[in-house]
Chain A
């Protein structure tokens, strides 16, 4: 034993060689300085996580749940409400514990079912089937409602009109953001331009809806070109902010230019649309009089519903056809790579302008429809929130996906509207509970959560516009949507 060590030490090399030998020796086996940290059991880990999260929530919400500032006589008063705070902390603790224990650190991954379903149904024309069913439902909706839900048909039809307005706006914005990849945060400006040009033309020159509709669209497109021309050289997020600024500028001008727009009072008495001159009202020369049927106010709603449905379908049709034209191809090419486009001789400014103008035009159509439906417009209706909602619909539905926009509109607008009907919750939260004030709160939260859950939107396959030999659906992550060059 002793002479073995002796001979080993005698064989040891000298100098630099010895140093590297020593190093190699040190690296053999387990490094001596690393001790594996003691692994917590799942329960302990979950409890720890839950504790940290609850502590964070306690800090975050202390000044919002625990302390409440109120306006009292002679200044402000402070009321203390520990119960909401404690409940919030407790809910967070339990929720986070359950999530960590069963989902994040569970034995089996909780996700995966979706992927299986997606793999099993790959290649099925689900989009087409869903689209056809939705189209059929949309075409027959007024009659379905009068047959099955006659007591609520007016309310539901009104809701359907609202949803379709957003579908149309979403499809219009989809041209700009989804196809051309230009992030537009001021889309509501064109909506406002459309609404105001219709309202001003109609009230000042006594023109009807059908004459004004194309003019409003043209005005909006003109504004799209005017606003777009200077800013389209900008990169993605700068473009977003400038369009936001333009949206705000238009709103502020509408608000302050009393003599022209009526300022905050808005414009009243915007005429209703007519069917070839037949008005939807009581009396002579009206729709019901002409056809000899009994007057009912629902007829006007049904008419409005079909107008917006036709406008929305027109938007969709134009978009789908545009994608097959050279300019549509150029939009998508631009979205993928602007430098490549330029080197191939595409005039990027013109291509961007056409996208901006086309999107703006449909925004203008939707705006004039909005004006005629309401009969009254004011700058209040064209705030930034409106732009954000439209953008949210486009992005959450899946940029560039026409079906996604429909689904997202139904979910977001319809879902929020559902809150109005949740008065049953008053039994739980007390009579002061008003579910509608949580609308935008939930909307914002849903935007964040859906985006984190599915960054590519609810519909995340795309059908490419250009096809080589065989038609294949591609994943959305292969498409550079919204890069905003």
Chain B
């Protein structure tokens, strides 16, 4: 029971990170119907920027932790958003209106480029960061030495995810930008006829997705303490799985899918085998797509002739 609870907490934390990345996939897919393959790499770039900011602040002598974290979040979000914007501008916008495969190919190219860019500039070795936030709340302490604990870091991750999710849901549902995004999602041509700046809206969608991925990257860095240039690929595929599982195009779906994937992966590693945890996630992707292509919360797509 205690073991189960501990795995549940770990799973929810991991799921929050996946959910934050999945939102980027789901928003981009919703609006332009393409898989932004480079999104996992944006997550990776976000965590590298967060690491650089952390070390830079330490070098400047700023060590007050809340301030450091705040600066890390803000700088990582802004810089990663700039990356997201640039990628859209360079690799996807020129190909809008081209055949469907074209942006996917540039996305794969971009993903290879970004991985190797980070590898060349920051080195190929893993970067360990000692845990900055230690301790936690002990929820349950049984006598045989098994402790159920939720660490401060996990609380921060979950709270941050909830806050960001709420904020983004409000942006999508209440603001004019969100209305424009939803309009573009339904019918891009009609939206542009009605005066929505489609290019700008799409760019802003990439910016929003990238900034959420940056937060996820920073959380990943602080939670796991090791990053390298390759973390984006697996995390990206899993987050995409989460987006599909939740129903692509749906924001709450992305979060739900993220939690589901996080929980499945954690329980699989906890009860079966760590080696095959990626296989579990990928199999779920295949199973969901085959039996439930519109996901948990998605609308079924009708193919029109």
Contacts and interface: CB of A to CB of B under 8 A. Distances in A.
A444 B112 contact: yes
A242 interface: yes
Contact of B113 (A185, A245, A395, A441): A441
A440 B124 CA distance: 13
Contacts of A244: 237
B175 to A, nearest CB: 25
Contacts of A67: 52, 55-56
B215 to A, nearest CB: 16
B64 interface: no
Given A395-B101, A451-B105, A452-B91, A63 B79 contact: yes
Contacts of B285: 241-242, 245
Nearest to B107: A448
Contacts of B49: 63
Interface stretch (B127-135, B136-144, B147-155, B253-261): B127-135
A481 B286 contact: no
B252 interface: no
Contacts of A445: 109, 113
A392 B240 contact: no
Contacts of B113: 441, 444-445, 447-448
Contact of B121 (A68, A185, A231, A248): A68
Main secondary structure of the interface of A (DSSP, over half): helix
Interface in A402-459: 437-438, 440-441, 443-448, 451-452, 455-456
Nearest to B248: A238
A237 B102 CA distance: 11
A42 interface: no
A71 B127 contact: yes
B51 interface: yes
A69 interface: yes
A252 B290 contact: no
Contacts of A399: 101
Interface stretch (A5-13, A194-202, A204-212, A383-391): A383-391
B122 A69 contact: yes
B105 A441 contact: no
A462 to B, nearest CB: 13
Given A69-B55, A443-B112, A484-B101, A238 B244 contact: yes
B290 A483 contact: no
A231 B290 contact: yes
Contacts of A246: 282, 286
B117 interface: yes
B86 A237 contact: no
Interface string A60-76: 10111101111100011
Nearest to A68: B122
B122 A240 contact: no
A228 B283 CA distance: 14
B278 A248 contact: yes
A230 B127 contact: no
Given A60-B82, A69-B52, A384-B233, A236 B100 contact: yes
A440 B240 contact: no
Contact of B104 (A231, A234, A237, A456): A237
A392 B99 contact: no
B70 interface: no
Main secondary structure of the interface of B (DSSP, over half): helix
A67 B49 CA distance: 10
A253 B273 CA distance: 12
Given A63-B79, A395-B105, A483-B99, A448 B279 contact: no
Count chain B CB atoms within 10 A of each CB in A231, A236, A241, A477 and give the residue with the most: A241
Contacts of B48: 63-64, 69
Interface in A454-476: 455-456
Contact of B244 (A59, A177, A233, A241): A241
A256 interface: yes
A482 B79 CA distance: 34
A451 B52 contact: no
Contacts of B91: 448, 451-452
A455 B105 CA distance: 10
Contacts of A448: 90-91, 106, 109-110, 113
B99 A242 contact: no
Contacts of B279: 249, 252-253
A451 B94 CA distance: 10
B204 interface: no
B277 to A, nearest CB: 9
A183 interface: yes
A480 interface: yes
A455 to B, nearest CB: 5
A36 interface: no
Nearest to B283: A249
Contacts of B176: none
A126 interface: no
A378 to B, nearest CB: 16
A339 interface: yes
Contacts of A68: 121-123
B150 to A, nearest CB: 27
B5 interface: no
Interface in B229-252: 233, 237, 240-241, 244
B1 interface: no
B118 interface: yes
Contacts of B59: 78
Nearest to A53: B86
Nearest to B113: A444
A64 B286 contact: no
B116 A444 contact: yes
A324 to B, nearest CB: 25
Contact of B118 (A59, A64, A230, A248): A64
25 contacts: A59-B82, A68-B122, A69-B51, A71-B127, A177-B101, A183-B101, A231-B290, A233-B290, A234-B289, A235-B293, A241-B285, A242-B285, A244-B237, A256-B276, A396-B105, A399-B101, A438-B116, A447-B105, A448-B113, A451-B105, A452-B90, A452-B106, A482-B100, A483-B101, A484-B101
Given A63-B48, A444-B113, A448-B113, 6 more contacts: A231-B289, A245-B285, A245-B286, A388-B112, A452-B106, A482-B101
> Nearest 10 CB-CB pairs, A to B?
A447-B109, A444-B113, A444-B112, A482-B101, A245-B282, A441-B116, A78-B55, A448-B109, A63-B52, A64-B121
